[in-house]
Amino acid sequence: MTLETYLNYLRKSKLIPESRLPGLVKKFVQGKPRSEVNLPSFSKYLIDQKLLTPWQHQKLLEGRHQGFFLDKYRILGLIGSGGMSSVYVAQHTLMDRKVAIKVLSQSKVNDSSYLGRFYAESRVTASLNHPNIIRAYDVGNESGTHYIVMEYVQGEDLQHRVERDGPLELLPAVNFIRQAAEGLAYAHRRNLVHRDIKPANLFVCQPGDQVKVLDLGLARITTDKTSLTRLHNENMLGTTDYQAPEQALDSHTVNHLADVYGLGCTFYFLLSGHPPFPEGSIAQRLMQHQTGKAKELTDIRPDIPPAIATLCHRMMEKKPQHRISSTEEVSKLLSLWLREKGFRFRSHLEKPAKRKETQKPTPTQEVTPPPEVAEEPNREPLMQFLDSLEAAQVSSDRTRIRRMRKSSQLDTSKTLISGKKDSQRKAAEEENTIFDEEPSQMGAAPTKISPDSSLKPTPVTSKDEEE
């Protein structure tokens, strides 16, 4: 391509205002011999002046002069692409702020499943605001090109880092998983399940090594009964090497524990350099996730502490109820371990919500505000089981006390009734026994009235009187 043709494409692209081009060319050729006035040197000059990017220059060399602008954004370069979409780095034409723009592939625009999921991702991402989750700023459609404007960060995903450098050192790997767990815990508290946690979706920003969770395109809102995946009968979602066993069977009903499993497999990948089950076809690997057992991390890397290896394997338990109870619990356990090793960091776990404000007291009242009660963290299943036993014991004790009180009341009633009957019986006997204490004129002894005597007195005499 000649310099003249290149300038023609550059003029049509509007990457540089047409009014500036003559002045730029004049400044470029000034003082240079004719042999140095060529296309490579001119393009290098524009790139050095930050008027063009290498990606833009390459597109112009290919004869393309369209597609450099999307609404109010100027496309600077390609970050990456996949089967569903491509991600570009762009710059706001007025604010000069760099952003990442995710563009839905033109081959997927007419598919209602992909288009609906694309806009669902924009809504889900826009609803989240956490340092460990990528943010979304805008969504739009420009002449049939559907796009999401997101936060732009520099760095690389963990998939590329491990493929380039091999297994990570222990402390950075633990810290990366801790940060990802914090971001996921935030999403889970808002009824969102990612369903596609893997190394490629954990982005490490530079500088600072801050982890951000990417790609919420498969996220499931647990309170939404009309999900797109169910509507389009999409049962197999996620990535085979990091997919939870229950998700392979039914992706519509999985909860946050599927993300715990995916994060555990990602942790395994960072420490070992490969997924838990790296060999075999897709069907064979899916079966291994259902029934197989991953090789012990301590056998692969003896430098891994047993506590970290055990935690990773517990995150990958086949049955959801046997796993670590939540990503928040994972983050807390890893935070405790890192602090014991002297690793300094700032946690972004959500603070407990404050109590609602009570009615303000009148000037004559003195009200002591109730103390703030911190939200109790999720506990291990064993602790939950012990708590349930304790609650059952307390309930049993209360029931036993009520029964004892009731029994005591019954015994008291019985005693009162028995005492009353004894009094009545004694009174009856006293009525039946009459002693005549008045002596007769003949000096006879007192008489006794027998119950069988039909009230006829029978004299009682002494032995001397009988004689």
Mean pLDDT of 162-181: 95
CA dist 276 and 337 (Å) reads 23
Same domain, 171 and 280: yes
Q: Is 399 a member of any domain?
A: no
Cα dist from 348 to 130, 206, 267, 311, 463, whole Å: 8, 19, 20, 21, 113
Tell me what pLDDT residue 108 has. 77
Confirm if 90 and 66 have CB atoms less than 8 A apart.
no
CA dist 455 and 466 (Å) reads 24
237-270 pLDDT per residue, tens: 668 899 888 888 887 788 899 999 999 999 999 9
Same domain, 223 and 278: yes
Please give the share of the chain, as a percent, with pLDDT higher than 70.
69
Specify the range with the lowest mean pLDDT, choosing from 60-69, 211-220, 363-372, 435-444.
Answer: 435-444
Residue 358 — pLDDT band, cuts 50, 70, 90? low
Same domain, 233 and 318: yes
Same domain, 102 and 180: no
Across 8-30, b (16+ Cβ under 10 Å) vs e yields: ebbeebebbeeeeeeebeeebee
Q: Is 421 a member of any domain?
A: no
Residue 21: in which H helix or E strand, if any? Answer: helix 21-29
Q: Is 379 a member of any domain?
A: no
Specify the range with the lowest mean pLDDT, choosing from 48-62, 70-84, 323-337, 387-401.
Answer: 387-401
**Is pLDDT above 50 for 155?**
yes
**Is pLDDT above 80 for 168?**
yes
Same domain, 72 and 133: yes
Q: Is 400 a member of any domain?
A: no
Give the list of residues 6+ apart from residue 228 with CB closer than 8 angstroms, or none. 113, 116, 117, 120, 234
Residue 354 — pLDDT band, cuts 50, 70, 90? low
Same domain, 136 and 176: no
Boundary residue ending a domain (340, 356, 379): 340
Predicted TM-score (pTM) of the model is 0.67
CA dist 52 and 46 (Å) reads 6
Q: Is the peptide bond preceding residue 207 cis, with omega within 30 degrees of 0?
A: yes
Q: Is 317 a member of any domain?
A: yes
CATH of the domain at 197: 1.10.510.10
**What is the number of alpha carbons within 13 Å of residue 102 lying toward its C-beta?**
25
The rounded mean pLDDT for the chain is 78
Tell me what pLDDT residue 56 has. 94
**In the chain, what is the straight-line distance between the N-terminal and C-terminal CA atoms, in Å?**
169
Same domain, 116 and 263: no
Q: How many other CB atoms sit within 10 Å of the CB of residue 272?
A: 22
Boundary residue ending a domain (322, 340, 358): 340
Boundary residue ending a domain (296, 317, 340): 340
Q: Is 4 a member of any domain?
A: yes
CA dist 349 and 326 (Å) reads 13
Same domain, 35 and 50: yes
Residues marked as catalytic: 196
* Number of domains the chain contains: 3
CA dist 44 and 445 (Å) reads 152
Q: Is 371 a member of any domain?
A: no
Give the list of residues 6+ apart from residue 386 with CB closer than 8 angstroms, or none. none
Question: Radius of gyration of the chain from Cα atoms?
Answer: 43
Confirm if 251 and 219 have CB atoms less than 8 A apart.
no
Same domain, 139 and 270: no
Q: How many other CB atoms sit within 10 Å of the CB of residue 136?
A: 23
Q: Is 458 a member of any domain?
A: no
Give me the domain span that covers residue 36.
1-66
Across 423-445, b (16+ Cβ under 10 Å) vs e yields: eeeeeeeeeeeeeeeeeeeeeee
Same domain, 24 and 51: yes
396: tokens are: 């049993």
Residue 232 — pLDDT band, cuts 50, 70, 90? very low
Same domain, 145 and 168: no
Tell which residue, 14, 111, 99, 103, has the closest CA to residue 56: 14
Residue 189: in which H helix or E strand, if any? Answer: helix 170-189
CA dist 379 and 349 (Å) reads 16
CATH of the domain at 130: 3.30.200.20
Same domain, 185 and 318: yes
Tell me what pLDDT residue 420 has. 59
292-314 pLDDT per residue, tens: 999 999 999 999 999 999 999 99
